[in-house]
Every structure is written in structure tokens, then in C-alpha cells.
Amino acid sequence: MNNRWRLLAIWLLPVGLALFLGWQVVNNGGPGRVVNAPSLAARNSAVARMTYGRFLDYVDAGRVTAVDIYDGGRSAVVEAQDPDLENRVQRLRVDLPGLAPELISRLKDKNISFDVHPPRSTPPLLGLLGNLLFPLLLIGSLIFLARRSSNMPGGPGQAMQFGKTKARFAMEAETGVKFDDVAGVEEAKEDLQEVVTFLKQPERFTAVGATIPRGVLLVGPPGTGKTLLAKAIAGEAGVPFFSLSGSEFVEMFVGVGASRVRDLFKRAKENAPCLIFIDEIDAVGRQRGAGIGGGNDEREQTLNQLLTEMDGFEGNNGIIIIAATNRPDVLDSALMRPGRFDRQVSVDAPDIKGRLSILKVHSRNKKLAEDVSLEMIARRTPGFTGADLANLLNEAAILTARRRKEATGLAEIDDAVDRVIAGMEGTPLTDGRSKRLIAYHEVGHALVGTLVKQHDPVQKVTLIPRGQAQGLTWFSPDEEQMLVSRAQLRARIMGALGGRAAEAIVFGHGEVTTGAAGDIQQVAGMARQMVTRFGMSELGPLSLEAGNQEVFLGRDLMTRSEVSDSITNRIDGQVRLIVDSCYRETVALLEGQRPCMDCLVELLIEQESLDGDRFREVVQNFTPVPEKERYSPLMPASS
């Protein structure tokens, strides 16, 4: 409050001075000239004005009785008899051309009483202040603005703060997150628990000659809980904690990033032992010299300073750095070496046990119906990260509130899974040729997936649009499957081609649509990987891909290709051979099941959605369904 009154006084001082001097200017004709009080009253009492020529006529006619001259002969107040008002005396103001001797002589000749009022000069100090009016007003306004903006982040008052770190600092970080609140990443929690133990009880490690890693790099896809783990470490450790993003180091000004790194580590050493968390470190830690023409740029200078501070001549004893990224492939090798980031902790998508534990954490404040099983939800969501599962339960809760239910049931969970994976539900199609064509397309996918033994079982077929897709077929992949066989890859290619094959069989090759565009892209990708990466073609077990898929401009611009032109042609031939053979098998399979396909289409058009059990039940009435392992997890396969 005192600062506000002080700033207000600083701003009002020049304003008040300006008002005072302005008043003097208005009433005295200009700065530096102030008349005496009687003259001022006399002049203000004269309201009417008279021209100089008429004034001379009145003088010659003897109608002027008295004249008071002001402002060095520039104006006068005249007492004159006005013939239009029965010779009544009036006080009139006259603007004179100057105090001329002829006027004085004429007044003396006519015996007119006159008086000359000399101006009284202002004191020198007041005149100086009048001349400094505008500079004082300008300086006062600038001081007020500077003081006001000094408390604003990034304001003009902080123009000299560019080189200071922007890290958020807390002596004891109250993040509200503990290790008990983080689930599904047990291995990562064990590695990070050692960091917390070292900060709390360092003698347990130093007694046996062990040293804690100086840096821990959290690596994993987005949404797996890297930042959440950092919050848990801060909440558990109870030591000073610095947190910032990698992008906060780099500015457009040269040297700012390196200066911020120095300032960060200077503050960290003053508060050691402490933790520094750098989120998205790939923004500043990318490989050096990756662009055309070298790279002595601001980002590289920032990285050089970071490397020096982490493990340079002085070292950083007592400072533990935790960084997170989902792009470890682009980080500089000097940043990844032992002594800087000694330990890399993988934070991958959780398995079924991890998903179950994550669901238990996020369902604490959710009202679930009695028939809802968290284990069932965990089995239906393979590949979901912690963020995906949190979003899933939140979407289910929103649907529950929208439907005015008191607890989330299986219907809300099912709809939430569909919405998270495929998008918002659209308006159902009206019965017509387009709906029938989409039905044949989706039944073609599902029927091939059901009849091919190596394919994953069908989970759901629907004609309800979601996102960009007008229809969807869901398959349930093997939860624990880490390796994929050649037969399984061919089965997936056949399943993806089932929609196009069904269109061609029913409507003819001239009526196939663009609905299979996404399927064809998937087919091409899988077939090319079979040839170039997995060695599942006639070319033999050879890796025929380009070595490094760098994301930097100019890294491999002049690198010699590892594959000759003849091998490239043979690769294209093998990809086409795989796709053609799979398409022929798919067409033959569906042509032999035309009655079954027509029955499924009519049923799908009528009900708009079929689950996997109902779909297999109908197929079983026409042809035996091959035995295959069946799983609960849900995954979209095509659209």
C-alpha cells in the first residue's frame, strides 16, 4: 500500500505543478508575467470590447474619461460614455497596437486621465519551473510507468533480467503428488526412489563408496507420466526444487540462453542439495552441427553451457538434474553420456496390471456402478497411457452427467472407449445405397478377420460414424504379444483388404470407392516393412532400409544411398507381389462366403452395431469359425 501511495505522489507532483502553472498562464498571458491584484480586478471587470479605431473616435469626441494601460501597451481598459446608452459610462477593453507616444500625447491634449500599469516579473525560480514544465511531466510519467511495470513478469522494468533464469523455485515443493499417486510405472518408481533416498539419507550410499547419478533422463511416449513422476519426486524429497521447460532457455538474443543456464546453476549451488527438473529437454539438447553450414547458433551455445555446468571443470556436487523427453533419438551424444545423464529411465505405456493400478488411482473420486469392473476396463484398453485412461474415465463421467445418471455404467464406459479412440459419435446414416456400401465394406473386414485363423478376433462392427470414419470394425489384439509372425502379418493385410474386396465383389470394380484409402496405406506400409525390415520376402533376410532417419535438414543430404537402383526395383516388385497375393486370397475367401456376407449386411443395417460374439454366432451358422485365442482388449482396425 505504501508503494502505491508513493507512486501516486510521484505522478501527481508534476501534474499539480502543471495545473498551477497553466492557471498562471491563462490568467497572465504567458509564463513569466504576473500583474498586480488591482490591475487584474480592473481588467476582469471589463467585459465588452472596443476596436482601436472606435477608441480613437471616442477620444477625439471627448467621451473617454479614463484609460488604464496594461501589458506594456498591448491592452487597455477604457471608461467611456456610450451615446447609444444615454451617455452611461461603461468599462470597455481595447487591444492596442503598442504603447505609442502619439497615443499618450493625444490623451494629454484631451485631459483624459490615464495610468500605465507596468507588469511585475515572476520570481526566477518560478520562471525556471515554468520552463521545465513539460520535461518534469514527462520524467514523472516515465518513473511511474517504470515502477508500476517492475512488478509485472516480463515488463519494461525487467529489461535487464533477460539473462536471469525463469525456473520456478520452491524450498519445499508442495506439488500434492506422492509416489503413491503414481501408478503403472513401478520400475521407474524404483529407480527414482533411490534419488529421493540419497537426498534424505546420503550416508547410506557414501558409506559404501557409491555416488548417486548426477542426471536422470525420463524417456517415454507422451502421456505416460514423466512430468507426474517429477512432481512426485519433488513432493517426496523435501529439498529445494527448480522446475522449468527446455524452451525457456533460448531467446532471440545472443547469449541469453547460456546466461540463464549459468544463473540457474548458480542459484542451485547456493541451495544444494537440490533438484532441477527440465521438461522437454529436446528443445535445447538437440544434436549440434545438424544443419547445413554448421551451427554456431544460440541454441548450440546454450547446450554447450549446459554441458559444462552438468559435468565441467568445477562440477555440480549436490545438484541432481531430472529431465524428460519423448525424443531421445535427437539428443546430443555428449548430453547422454555418463557423468551427465548417467541413468535413463524408460516410462512406457503400462501393461494390464499397470493400467489396472492407474484406473484405481483415477477412479477414487468417480462413482462407478456395481457392474463395472476396473479389470474389465483395463483389458479393453491395450496401448492406453495414464493420460488416456484418465481421459477415458473423465469422458465416461461426463456422459453419465449428460444422461442424468447417478453412477457410471458399462454403457458409458463403452461409449467413452469408442469416443477416445475413434472420435465423437456422428449422425447415423439413413438407409440407402451409401449405407449399404459401407455395411459391405465393414462386413468384409470383419468376415476376413473371423475366418482367417491367424487374425485377431472381431470385437465390434458398427455403422455409426465416429470422427472421420463412416463405419468402424474393431479387433481385439493379443495383450501379451511381443513378436508378430509372417502369417499374422499376411492375415492383417488380408483383413485390411477385406473392405475393398467386398466392394469389388458386390458392386463391381467400376464402383469401388475411396473408403479404402486408409486401408491401402496400412497395407503398403506393412508389406514394405516385411520386405525391407523383417526379411520376409524372396530377397532374403536383408535390412534394406536407409540407416538413419534424421529429422535435421542437411544431415544426410549428401549421404550415399545404401540400396542400389536394381534392389529398389526388386523391393517394389516384392511389395506388389505380397499385396497381390493377399488380395487374391481375400477375394476368393469372400466370394465363397457371399450368402453369409449378405446376411451379415442385412443384420448390420437393421441393428447398426454388432458385437464380436453376435457376429461369430451368425458366421457359425454358415461356416465353421476357426479356433483362435480371444481377448477382451479393444482396438480399432479399419474404417
Please identify every residue annotated as catalytic. Answer: 442
Angstrom distance (rounded) from CA 596 to CA 618: 8
- In eight-state DSSP terms, residue 283 is G
Nearest CA-CA partner of 188 in 226, 141, 147: 226
Count other C-beta atoms under 10 Å from residue 584's C-beta. Answer: 13
Q: Encode 36-75: b = buried (16+ Cβ within 10 Å), e = exposed.
A: eeebeebbeebeeebeeeebeebbeeebbeebbbbbeeeb
Q: Say which residues have a Cβ less than 8 Å from residue 274's Cβ, sequence separation at least 6.
A: 239, 240, 241, 242, 268, 318, 319, 320
Residue 476: its H or E element: none
Largest CA distance in the chain: 142
Angstrom distance (rounded) from CA 199 to CA 240: 11
Angstrom distance (rounded) from CA 408 to CA 450: 32
- How many CA atoms lie less than 13 Å away from 248 in the CB half-sphere? 18
Q: Using an 8 Å Cβ cutoff, are 443 and 506 in contact?
A: no
Angstrom distance (rounded) from CA 194 to CA 201: 10
Q: Using an 8 Å Cβ cutoff, are 173 and 235 in contact?
A: yes
Q: 3-state DSSP call for residue 530?
A: helix
Which alpha helices (H) appear in 508-593, and where do they start and end? 517-532, 565-591
Angstrom distance (rounded) from CA 449 to CA 348: 29
Are β-strands 48-50 and 33-34 bridged in parallel, bridged antiparallel, or unpaired? unpaired
Query: Among all chains, which residue has been given the C-alpha cell 497553466?
Result: 22
Q: What angle do CA 409, 182, 410 make, to 5 degrees?
A: 10
In whole angstroms, what separates CA 403 from the centre of its chain? Answer: 32
Q: How far is CA 54 from CA 21, 50, 70, 91, in A?
A: 36, 7, 19, 14
Helices (H) and strands (E) in the chain, counts: 22, 17
Q: Say which residues have a Cβ less than 8 Å from residue 445's Cβ, sequence separation at least 6.
A: 461, 473, 495, 496, 498, 499, 519, 637, 638
| Identity of the residue numbered 391 | N
Count other C-beta atoms under 10 Å from residue 123's C-beta. Answer: 10
CA terminus-to-terminus distance, the chain: 64
Q: What sign results for the dihedral spanned by CA atoms 557, 561, 562, 568?
A: positive
| Identity of the residue numbered 424 | M
- In eight-state DSSP terms, residue 534 is S
Q: Say which residues have a Cβ less than 8 Å from residue 101's Cβ, sequence separation at least 6.
A: none
